[in-house]
Structure 1
Amino acid sequence: MFHGSPVPTPGRPCSKCKDDGWFPEANTRSRLFKVGSFVDWDVKSLLLFIAVFLITADYIKNRRQASFPPGPWAWPIVGNMFTLDHSRTHESMTQLAEKYGDVYSLRMGQEWLVVLNRYEVLKEALVNQGDSLVDRPVVPLLDKTTHGLGVIFSNGHIWKQQRRFALSTLRFFGFGKKSLEPVILDEFTFCAKHFSSFEGKPFNPQKVISNIVSNVICSLVFGHRFEYTDERFMRLIRWFDQSLQLEASLWAQLYNSFPLLVNPLPGPHKTHIHITNASKDFIREELKEHKKNWDPSDPRDYIDCYLKEIQTSEAQADSTFDEENLVICVLDLFVAGSETTSTTLRWALLYMAKYPEIQTKVQDEIDRVIGQSRQPSMDDRANLPYTDAVIHECMRMGNIVPLSLPHITIRDMQLGGYTVPKGVTVVPNLTSVLFDKNEWATPFTFNPGHFLNKEGKFVKPAAFIPFSAGKRLCLGETLARMELFLFFTSFMQRFTFYMPPGVKPKMEPRFGVTLAPYPYEICATSR
């Protein structure tokens, strides 16, 4: 008897012996279990420590200073990225202004945004203190393909040289001048034939409207127009539409906030990059064709002039003219000179179908002033106040670029009683201006009276700034205004538009960098 218990079986210690360490295998397992538990808890502790450290560091680094504009509470790491409804970002931002004021802040990832609301605030920032907001922020998704070139998202010396050259060259070829009228009116003639071919049956006007507007800028940039059956060109237009939607998506915001993390992953950013590169290839093909018959002494269009500028400024150390910049500039001119105008025209036809009584009043005015025997001219504008008011109300209600394009502070500035430090992205919320109940009698109702005085004459309120304001005012504004008047007046002169039987117009916008109507079908009968 050992330990007061029966003699164990030979070769098998008793339970007491196991406890005393006589069974080495069991003892080893026990020690391993204890070590494994320690390691497990050690890893958990380490992860917990890292998480607490990152959250604490994030809070210390990104906490709002007392003088910085207020805003909603931001989550660690991602900030307010999920605070906004990214299918209605402009509406979310406008609603936040009701709680936090006309100047408030949001955090997207590790970057701060300051959102400006209402006309007086935007005027103070973009016009009165415009020198402090003359630059654009670096947007990683765009910078991936444009590399800071072009005229829209470039800065400093590059932007000044390219914008000055673009404006002077396009004016030389009739940009905003009466000499461009025949190009616009000829393009309408092609469009009218296309619309008439449907003989009052429903059709989707999107492709043709995009094409006629794009062809006007094409005549200035490429020196020729594209046929409506040119699938290569139509694909380019579809790409632009898709690209502008992707740029305003949540995925794009994730990419811009965490580019190193998101870039290797599959996702919509890959589609955007592919679209931009394919668009650049399209422009390079046009450039290649230009070079075959290029005569520096006889420039035919913007590309010819740019090639000449590359040649003449080659020896200048500060020259920013080269073929890569040419490609990006042409891409920018396409967007600035076509997207907003074509989208506004699509809204205009939809509003005319929704409000036939307004369409009739426009047609009556056009019949009195112009009649049916000749095409409209810019000289007619002063005598068509109601038509002009309807065009402007389409622009206001369409709210085509709801959040404008972002700016970045190049020095500390004071706005709304707060300090906005250097290097902060500023978003001008145009939606808050175009729908401000203090500026418009019926802000959410289609009302041409917003642009008419008591005598029925056209007036443009100061708060009408769909093209933004200041030194970064939209490059294509002059051309857009001309196209909108001539195209819209021509449409109303030649056609009556209405929805297919039993179909109600869908007025909800599709959110992107621009607010576009969802694809729709419409009927057009010749007058």
Structure 2
Amino acid sequence: MELSERYGPVFTVHLGRQKTVVLTGFEAVKEALAGPGQELADRPPIAIFQLIQRGGGIFFSSGAHWRAARHFTVRVLHSLGVGRELMTDKILQELKCLSEQLDGYEGQPFPLALLGWAPSNIIFTLLFGRRFDYRDPVFVSLLGLIDEVMVLLGSPGLQLFNIYPWLGALLQLHRPVLCKIEEVQAILRTLLEARRPHVRRGDPVRSYVDALIQQGQGDDPESLFAEPNAVACILDMVMAGTETTSATLQWAALLMGQHLDVQGRVQEELDCVLGPGRPPRPEDQQELPYTSAVLHEVQRFITLLPHVPRCTTADTKLGGFLLPKGTPVIPLLTSVLLDETQWQTPGQFNPGHFLDADGHFVKREAFLPFSAGLQPSRPGWGGTSLAPGVGRPQLCPLTLHPPPAFRF
């Protein structure tokens, strides 16, 4: 963002030998994401994920493998209730379990990591067809490993490995994260194999893993759903589907503690609309404009996803410049969420950014916490945007660079 003040909204940086075009500010990013469409649909290769996934999975595959994995995943998640009433009930059930955990502290301080248990369990319910007890050793081990992997992905050594893979390989900078990933994959293979004897082709699909097993039982000439790619898909879902929601909830708790007036107003609105003891449902959102504004402002203020790397699939013109096919492009989402031309007080936590003069919720075009565009984006769960201490609340929220969010 500092470089853009000197070189303008479109400029080139050199990441090792790779020239990368950076786009800053709402107008430049909007042109890139809403304009070319399919021309920025590809992703540049990231060295560490090429080693981990070897072209498999959802977020780092390409061509036919990516299309097959993405279409399969979207279809299965929809059949499991994502975006429908069935998913709401699962979320509220998990919320009840989390509330009971919080009540157990009787008003005393609790570890913020606890707020990550519920969203992680919702993802695990979709993946494996059952929730885990918060004390389950598999659950505890998996969350601990995810946390360690995220921190390692944000380490300076991994960033050096991604920019200079040959040097990183020589110095073995990738070995710590690969070892942790192998432990995660071992747990996932165990869970996958435990379900395999119970799944028959044509049976009702109760989980993402069940769907993968059934798909692998049919004609699969390219082995798109053989065990290695099945594990890669599950790994992508686990890693990308847990950390971002957990980090957002932790930041929300921190910001409510820092802004007691905002916390009080949210509680007042919830009490007024929901009454005592009733959990919120999607249909209540229209009646909760201030609460909705606060949730949106949390995501804007913490800039959870600094950028989603893209890659041109054809010669593309952006900002008056011609970008050859295969050029990596970084639309800097942080610069959009903090753009002084779009937000009244970009550096401050201000729910008023999403409210009109009458207190009604207002959608903002510059609200792009997870990218945008006609082509569904494929951010992963790491890459060169990460920094040490990934996903952890710190005293200065704007110094955080957590992992990308769970989207396709």
Letter in 1 for 2:246: S
How far off is 1:230 after superposition? 2.3
User: How far apart, in 2, do the equivalents of 1:375 and 1:310 lie?
Assistant: 40
How far off is 1:369 after superposition? 0.6
Q: Judge conservation of contact 1:133–1:409 (CA < 8 Å) in 2.
A: yes
Note the 1:242-257 alignment, pairs <5 A. Answer: 242-257=148-163
Aligned length: 391
In structure 1, the partner of 2:194 is 289
In structure 1, the partner of 2:256 is 352
In structure 2, the partner of 1:141 is 48
How far off is 1:235 after superposition? 2.9
Under a length normalisation based on structure 2, what TM-score does the superposition of the two structures give?
0.91
How far off is 1:202 after superposition? 1.7
In structure 1, the partner of 2:319 is 416
Q: Judge conservation of contact 1:228–1:234 (CA < 8 Å) in 2.
A: yes
Q: Judge conservation of contact 2:301–2:398 (CA < 8 Å) in 1.
A: no
In structure 1, the partner of 2:181 is 276
Instruction: Among all aligned residue pairs of Structure 1 and Structure 2, give the percentage whose two residues are the same amino acid.
Output: 37
How far off is 1:511 after superposition? 4.0
In structure 1, the partner of 2:281 is 377
Letter in 1 for 2:235: L
Q: Give the secondary structure class of the aligned counterpart of 2:330.
A: strand
How far off is 1:257 after superposition? 2.7
Cα displacement string for residues 311-352 of structure 1 (whole angstroms, at most 9, x for unaligned residues) = 2232xx456222211111111112332221111111101111
Cα displacement string for residues 172-195 of structure 1 (whole angstroms, at most 9, x for unaligned residues) = 011121211121111111111111
In structure 2, the partner of 1:258 is 164
Q: Give the secondary structure class of the aligned counterpart of 2:396.
A: coil
Under a length normalisation based on structure 1, what TM-score does the superposition of the two structures give?
0.71
Letter in 1 for 2:377: L
User: Structure 1 residues 99 and 510, CA, compared in 2 at 3 Å: closer, same or farther?
Assistant: closer
Letter in 2 for 1:455: D
Note the 1:117-196 alignment, pairs <5 A. Answer: 117-196=24-103
- Mapped pair 1:331 → 2:235: yes
How far off is 1:171 after superposition? 0.5
Q: Judge conservation of contact 1:249–1:512 (CA < 8 Å) in 2.
A: no
**Please, which of 358, 361, 370 is the counterpart of residue 455 of structure 1?**
358
Q: Give the secondary structure class of the aligned counterpart of 2:150.
A: helix
In structure 2, the partner of 1:51 is none
Query: Is the radius of gyration larger for structure 1 or structure 2?
Result: 1
Gaps of 5+ in 2: 381-392
Q: Judge conservation of contact 1:132–1:413 (CA < 8 Å) in 2.
A: yes
Letter in 2 for 1:278: E
Cα displacement string for residues 473-498 of structure 1 (whole angstroms, at most 9, x for unaligned residues) = 3689xxxxxxxxxxxxxxxxxxxxxx
In structure 1, the partner of 2:23 is 116
How far off is 1:147 after superposition? 0.6
User: How far apart, in 1, do the equivalents of 2:266 and 2:325 lie?
Assistant: 49
User: How far apart, in 1, do the equivalents of 2:239 and 2:398 lie?
Assistant: 19
**Please, which of 204, 208, 216 is the counterpart of residue 122 of structure 2?**
216
Note the 1:369-448 alignment, pairs <5 A. Answer: 369-403=273-307, 405-448=308-351
User: Structure 1 residues 113 and 254, CA, compared in 2 at 3 Å: closer, same or farther?
Assistant: same
User: How far apart, in 2, do the equivalents of 1:430 and 1:302 lie?
Assistant: 31
Higher deviation after alignment, 275-284 or 332-341: 332-341
Gaps of 5+ in 1: 1-93, 477-503, 517-527
In structure 2, the partner of 1:36 is none
In structure 1, the partner of 2:390 is none
Q: Judge conservation of contact 2:10–2:319 (CA < 8 Å) in 1.
A: yes
User: How far apart, in 1, do the equivalents of 2:287 and 2:171 lie?
Assistant: 57
User: How far apart, in 1, do the equivalents of 2:305 and 2:11 lie?
Assistant: 20
Q: Judge conservation of contact 2:309–2:379 (CA < 8 Å) in 1.
A: no
Letter in 2 for 1:421: P
User: How far apart, in 1, do the equivalents of 2:275 and 2:3 lie?
Assistant: 49
User: Structure 1 residues 345 and 474, CA, compared in 2 at 3 Å: closer, same or farther?
Assistant: farther
User: How far apart, in 1, do the equivalents of 2:248 and 2:273 lie?
Assistant: 24
In structure 2, the partner of 1:498 is none
Q: Give the secondary structure class of the aligned counterpart of 2:101.
A: helix
User: How far apart, in 1, do the equivalents of 2:75 and 2:319 lie?
Assistant: 37
Note the 1:9-24 alignment, pairs <5 A. Answer: none
In structure 2, the partner of 1:482 is none
